Each structure stands twice: as C-alpha cells, then as structure tokens.
C-alpha cells in the first residue's frame, strides 16, 4: 500500500521586476485585508537578491518588517494556458485594515488556496458529481443541470415553492449574491433561502441583533476607539485577527475595558484578562440574548441609560 507523504518546501522564488502586480483582498473573513499578487510565467527569470533585481526594490535578506516570501505564499497556477508563478503577500501599502501589510495565518497563506494539481488542492472537484447507483461520479455540466432542473420542477409541483430550499455563500461579489438571491426569490418564489452561515434569511448574529445592535455598523477604528468594548459570542483574535491585532489589542494595552460573553475562554479573552481590564462572562451556547436582555433591564431599572443620546439618535425612549 502506498503511503502518502509530505515534503515541506523550504524556499520560494522572488518576483522579478517584470512581474504583473494585481491588488486583491483576503476572502477568509469580513475584515478583507489588502493583498498583492505578483505573477510571472514559469520558465522566465525569477527575481534576484539585489534591489535592482526584484519587484520589491529591496536587498535580501530583508529586514524584520520588510517584504519577504514564505514558501506558503508561492504557488504555480495556469494563466492564459501557461503555468505562472504567483506570490500572494499582504499589501505593505495598505493604510487601513491590515496596516503596513500585517496578516493572520489564514490570509498569510492564501496562495495555497489556488488550484495546483501538484499540491493539496488536487482534491478539488473539477466537475459536478451525481450519486449514481450509490457512488458519486463526475458528470457533465449539461447532465447535472438537466437533472437539477427536473428535480426542482418536480419538487415545486409536488410540494410547493417553499419545498425548494437554497443556500448560497455571501462573501465575494454583490453581483453573484444578487444573481443567486434573485433566482431563488423571484424565479423559484421560495422563502426557503439564505446565505452564509445562517439557518434562515437573518443576520449572522441574531442574538446580538435582537438586542438592538447593528454589529456590522462600526468601522475598524471604532473597535479601538471605544472606551468599553463588549464582545459577544466570538473572539476577534481568532475570527477577525487584524481587527484585534491592529485596533483592539493596542486599545486593551492602553486601558480599554472589555466585556466578553463567550462559551469558552479563548486566546483573545485570556490576553485581555491578563492585561487586567477584562470581564469574562462564560455562558451556555444560545443564552446570550437572555443575558443581554437582563443586562439591559438592570441598566433601565437603575436609570443608567443615556436618555439624551437615545433621544437624539433613536428618536424615542
Ligand atoms: S484578518 Fe486574516 S482572515 Fe481576515 S481578511 Fe485579514 S488576513 Fe484574511
């Protein structure tokens, strides 16, 4: 029996001056950190160690905060029918979000996500699959679409529009999500549709939204500017690393108070507690809404709310 093995790469090419440079952003989380892609054909000269020989205009070995390329930040992809090197690194010209080209381990290795039949992405599906006689088998797009269409028509005719459920991604482009939602709701006329990580067409964080907050309202800078930050059901160090590292962590270091509601004590919570300004409320999954409601009640009962601010911003009390 053949044994699978893994030989880690210990070097990577530098982009030459002639490399195409594209800007993009990381799609692993809502922070959307800025990245640069350097692309040049395999078989043409790579960049050299001298500033005059590489696309970064710096001498290598580079200094601690200067550009460099880890093996995980390089890949080979097909572009216009020809293999091309791609180097994907955080954008050092970034002035917001991942300032000066910071990154999390997820975005920092985004080049590994590009399809390469010689790398772990070789298990990526290259065609639709249909289970035939109990075995998943690759089929043509024409066949897959014919079968899907027939089944959709049958389901709606037999059981009604809402029996047809549809779940799609939400990050990426408005045009794509618009097409998907238009298809489900206007063409299929089903209410049984949702995107991203939600069980129904609601916010990703129903508990917090039920409590009256628009958690996608603040800018990244607001997270750091707040005197007191309440974080419910998540640890931004794990889930939105650049917001934590670039904005929240410096604020905590400067005395920002944090209140965390979470089911487990994660690394970001441990860090905040260690700095001495954090309150950690450990709760059972799904109980955040009652806890937030209870906190709001205590505030109202004691008259601690800022009535003038509520009057001005919400318009009523
Ligand atoms: S914080 Fe990490 S995962 Fe999120 S966008 Fe930035 S690099 Fe990507």
pLDDT tens per residue across span 121-170:
999 999 999 999 999 999 999 999 999 999 999 999 999 999 999 998 87
Name the pairing type of β-strands 20-25 and 34-41: antiparallel
Which residue positions in the chain have pLDDT lower than 50? Answer: 317
Q: According to the model, what pLDDT value does residue 98 have?
A: 93
Does the Cβ of 94 fall within 6 Å of ligand 1?
A: no
Does the Cβ of 246 fall within 6 Å of ligand 1?
A: no
Does the Cβ of 106 fall within 6 Å of ligand 1?
A: yes
Instruction: Please identify, by atom number, the ligand 1 atom nearest to the C-alpha of residue 32.
Output: 5
What residue owns the CA closest to ligand 1's atom 4?
29
| Domain 20-123 fold | Immunoglobulin-like (2.60.40)
What residue owns the CA closest to ligand 1's atom 2?
104
For the chain, what are the domain ranges?
20-123, 125-151, 160-202, 206-313
Check if the beta carbon of residue 12 is closer than 8 Å to that of residue 73. yes
Judge residue 67's burial from the number of C-beta atoms within 10 Å of its C-beta, 0-12 exposed, 13-18 middle, 19 or more buried: buried
CATH number of 206-313: 3.40.228.10
What residue owns the CA closest to ligand 1's atom 7?
107
CA distance linking residue 176 with residue 166, whole number of Å: 14
What residue owns the CA closest to ligand 1's atom 5?
32
Q: According to the model, what pLDDT value does residue 317 have?
A: 46
Ligand 1 centroid, distance to 29 Cα (angstroms): 5
Ligand 1 centroid, distance to 208 Cα (angstroms): 23
Instruction: Please identify, by atom number, the ligand 1 atom nearest to the C-alpha of residue 241.
Output: 1
Ligand 1 centroid, distance to 226 Cα (angstroms): 22
Q: According to the model, what pLDDT value does residue 176 have?
A: 75
Does the Cβ of 31 fall within 6 Å of ligand 1?
A: yes
Q: According to the model, what pLDDT value does residue 195 have?
A: 83
Q: Best substitution site from 240, 243, 246, 268 to test ligand 1's pocket, by max atoms within 8 Å of Cβ?
A: 240
Q: According to the model, what pLDDT value does residue 172 have?
A: 64
Maximum C-alpha span of the chain = 74
Q: According to the model, what pLDDT value does residue 316 have?
A: 55
């Amino acid at each position: 029996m053949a044994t699978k093995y893994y030989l880690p790469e210990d070097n990577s090419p530098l982009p030459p001056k002639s490399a195409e440079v594209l800007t993009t952003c990381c799609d692993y989380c809502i922070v959307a950190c800025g990245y640069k892609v350097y692309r040049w054909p395999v078989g043409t000269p790579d960049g050299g160690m001298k500033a005059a020989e590489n696309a970064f205009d710096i001498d290598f070995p580079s200094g601690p905060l200067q550009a460099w390329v880890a093996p995980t930040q390089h890949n080979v992809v097909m572009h216009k029918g020809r293999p091309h090197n791609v180097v994907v690194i955080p954008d050092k010209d970034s002035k917001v979000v991942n300032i000066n080209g910071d990154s999390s381990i997820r975005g920092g290795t985004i080049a590994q996500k590009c399809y390469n039949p010689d790398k772990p992405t070789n298990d990526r599906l290259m065609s639709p699959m249909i289970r035939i006689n109990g075995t998943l088998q690759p089929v043509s797009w024409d066949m897959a679409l014919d079968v899907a269409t027939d089944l959709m028509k049958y389901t709606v005719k037999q059981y009604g529009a809402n029996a047809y459920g549809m779940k799609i991604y939400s990050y990426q482009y408005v045009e794509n999500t618009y097409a998907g939602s238009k298809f489900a709701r206007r063409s299929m006329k089903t209410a049984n549709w949702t995107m991203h990580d939600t069980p129904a067409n609601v916010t990703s964080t129903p508990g917090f939204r039920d409590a009256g907050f628009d958690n996608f309202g603040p800018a990244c800078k607001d997270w750091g500017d707040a005197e007191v930050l309440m974080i419910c059901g998540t640890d931004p160090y794990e889930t939105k690393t650049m917001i934590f590292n670039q904005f929240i962590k410096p604020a905590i270091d400067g005395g920002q108070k944090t209140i965390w509601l979470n089911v487990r004590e994660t690394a970001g919570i441990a860090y905040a507690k260690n700095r001495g300004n954090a309150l950690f409320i450990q709760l059972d999954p799904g109980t955040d809404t009652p806890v937030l409601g209870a906190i709001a009640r205590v505030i109202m009962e004691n008259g601690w709310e800022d009535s003038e601010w509520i009057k001005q911003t919400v318009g009523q009390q």
